């Protein structure tokens, strides 16, 4: 069990997930949180990562660092998404084990599952079919991270667990239209269209794919819950257990941002996976459930965007 004084390392603490974890742990009274900015430690550099672990000796690690992005970014930079994530994962996992970290939580992604997996997606569906081509490079890297954690557990008996969150959003999200995910991208599109009085907003694809969204503060709560209550080799899904279509999402964001114009869909752009809803019965059985309804989470995220992130 993590104690309030335990040395807790969050690689990727400035990202969406890492920053939420840092806020949540601090709020819960954990006072010994270790972080280091990318400018001071390149997690792709094995030697530098080893030196950092030797010096700081963390006891628990939440591996939230990753190169992430939406369909456009994954399609444009396949080498970066595969190579950078593999390097980060291998270095952090290896040196965590080598220096005696008591437990590591590895954060994967729902994109690890087959494109046409039965819905809702159970954990055992991993590696039972082909991946979605628009994010396969990221997915393959994440699958390798899962297997590396399981390998360390099998060969050395080391406590490494793997959580698979659904699509995330929230405070500190990436709103860059070139490499963001669908929800923050829509927030920015609608807000800017409202400010500049554009008569229409164009949305990629047909609007028919269905997606599940989890507020990142809920994920932080789930990660700490799992670190304290779960120690098995099997991956575990983290989500809400509810989904909606992209068109329904767009209508919801249009209402929250109070954009009065018209919505157009561009079917020449890729839709991605038709549906991606996680089966969260395993984590529910352990005693955890998400607490933030989607409209409330989007409103909080939009308010944060208006205050902090316009133009970024």
Catalytically annotated residues? 138
Confirm or deny that 91 is annotated as ligand binding: no
| Cβ neighbours of 55 (radius 10 Å) | 8
Query: What are the backbone dihedrals phi and psi of residue 238, each rounded to the nearest 5 degrees, phi first?
Result: -130, 115
Confirm or deny that 63 is annotated as ligand binding: no
Confirm or deny that 102 is annotated as ligand binding: no
Confirm or deny that 18 is annotated as ligand binding: yes
Name the burial class of residue 5, with classes exposed (0-12), middle (13-18) and buried (19+) by CB atoms within 10 angstroms of its CB.
Answer: exposed
Confirm or deny that 270 is annotated as ligand binding: no
Confirm or deny that 23 is annotated as ligand binding: no
Confirm or deny that 255 is annotated as ligand binding: no
Confirm or deny that 15 is annotated as ligand binding: yes
Tokens representing 203 are: 């949305």
Confirm or deny that 204 is annotated as ligand binding: yes
Confirm or deny that 110 is annotated as ligand binding: yes
Q: Which residues sit in the known binding site?
A: 12-18, 107-110, 142, 165-168, 181, 189, 204, 211, 271
Q: Which residues sit in the known binding site for NADP(+)?
A: 12-18, 107-110, 142, 165-168, 181
Q: Which residues sit in the known binding site for substrate?
A: 189, 204, 211, 271
């Amino acid at each position: 069990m993590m104690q309030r004084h335990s040395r807790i390392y969050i690689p990727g603490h400035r990202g969406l997930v890492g920053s939420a974890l840092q806020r949540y742990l601090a709020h819960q009274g954990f006072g010994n949180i270790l972080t280091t900015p990318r400018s001071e430690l390149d997690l792709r550099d094995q030697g530098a990562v080893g030196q950092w672990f030797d010096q700081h000796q963390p006891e628990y690690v939440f591996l939230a660092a990753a190169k992430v992005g939406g369909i456009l970014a994954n399609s444009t930079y396949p080498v970066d998404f595969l190579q950078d994530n593999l390097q980060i994962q291998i270095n952090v996992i290896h040196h965590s084990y080598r220096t005696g970290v008591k437990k590591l939580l590895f954060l994967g992604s729902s994109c690890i599952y087959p494109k046409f997996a039965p819905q809702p997606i159970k954990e055992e569906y991993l590696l039972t079919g082909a991946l979605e081509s628009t994010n396969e490079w990221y997915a393959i890297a994440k699958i390798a991270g899962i297997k590396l954690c399981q390998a360390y557990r099998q060969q050395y008996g080391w406590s490494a667990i793997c959580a698979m969150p659904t699509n995330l959003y929230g405070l500190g999200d990436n709103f860059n239209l070139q490499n963001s995910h669908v929800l923050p991208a829509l927030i920015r599109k609608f807000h800017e269209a409202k400010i500049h009085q554009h008569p229409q907003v164009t949305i990629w694809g047909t609007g028919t794919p269905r997606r599940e969204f989890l507020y990142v503060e809920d994920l932080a709560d789930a990660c700490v819950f799992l670190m304290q209550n779960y120690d098995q080799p099997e991956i575990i899904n983290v989500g809400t257990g509810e989904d909606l279509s992209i068109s329904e999402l767009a209508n919801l964001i249009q209402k929250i941002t109070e954009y009065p114009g018209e919505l157009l869909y561009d079917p020449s752009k890729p839709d991605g996976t038709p549906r991606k809803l996680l089966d969260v019965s395993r984590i529910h059985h352990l005693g955890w459930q998400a607490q933030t309804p989607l409209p409330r989470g989007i409103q909080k995220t939009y308010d944060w965007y208006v205050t902090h992130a316009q133009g970024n």
